[in-house]
Amino acid sequence: MKIDNTYIEGLLVITPKVFEDERGYFFETYNQSLFNHKTGLNVNFVQDNESKSSYGTLRGLHYQRGKFAQAKLVRVLSGTVLDIAVDIRINSETYGKYFAIELSSSNKKQLFIPRGFAHGFVVLSDEAVFAYKCDNYYNKESEGGIIYNDPVINIDWIIPADDFILSQKDKENPLLGKHLSFN
C-alpha cells in the first residue's frame, strides 16, 4: 500500500496495491500490521459501517466528540463520491480548512481521517456504496455536525446545490463557529 500525506496533518490518502489479470482483481483492503507500520499509528478499528446512496445524496458534515470521538478509514465499494474532511481541532494551524478527494470503486483509494475532523461526502455517480471503519463506537449523545454550506469553510461540492439530497438533520446543522468545539 502507498500512503500519502495531505496538506492537513493527520489526513492520509491510502492507495492499495491491486493485482489484476483476466479474472478480475484482488487487493488487501486493510492490514492492521502494515497500516500501523507504515503510518506509525496504532489504530484499533472496532466498528464497520456501510451506506448506499443515490446521485446527489450529501451526508455530513458529521463528527463524534469527547470520549466517543472517532478516527475513520473510508472507501467506496461501488460508484464515486467526493469525500470531505474538515479540521475542527481548535489549536490546529488548519482549523476550519477542508480536504477533498474523489473516492471510487475504480481508483480504490481510501482516506484515513483521524479524530478531530468533521466528515461528509456527496455521491457523484448514479449510486454509491460507501464503507468505513471506525476506531470507536457511535454514541448518539456525542454526535455533532456542521452545515454542509458553511460560508467560512466554503466547500466546493462539485455538483449543483439543486441536486443535493439531504436529511432534515443535515439541513439544520449549525455553522462551524456555532458548534461545540471538538477539543
Catalytic residues: 62, 132
- Residue 158 burial (C-beta neighbours within 10 Å; 0-12, 13-18, 19+): exposed
Residue type, 117: F
Q: How is residue 56 written as a grid cell?
A: 446527489
Separation CA 160–CA 117 (nearest Å)? 25
**CB count, 10 Å around CB of 85?**
29
Beta bridge partners of 62: 119, 145
Separation CA 123–CA 58 (nearest Å)? 7
Separation CA 40–CA 34 (nearest Å)? 10
How many residues would you count in the chain? 183
ω into 111 cis (within 30 of 0): no
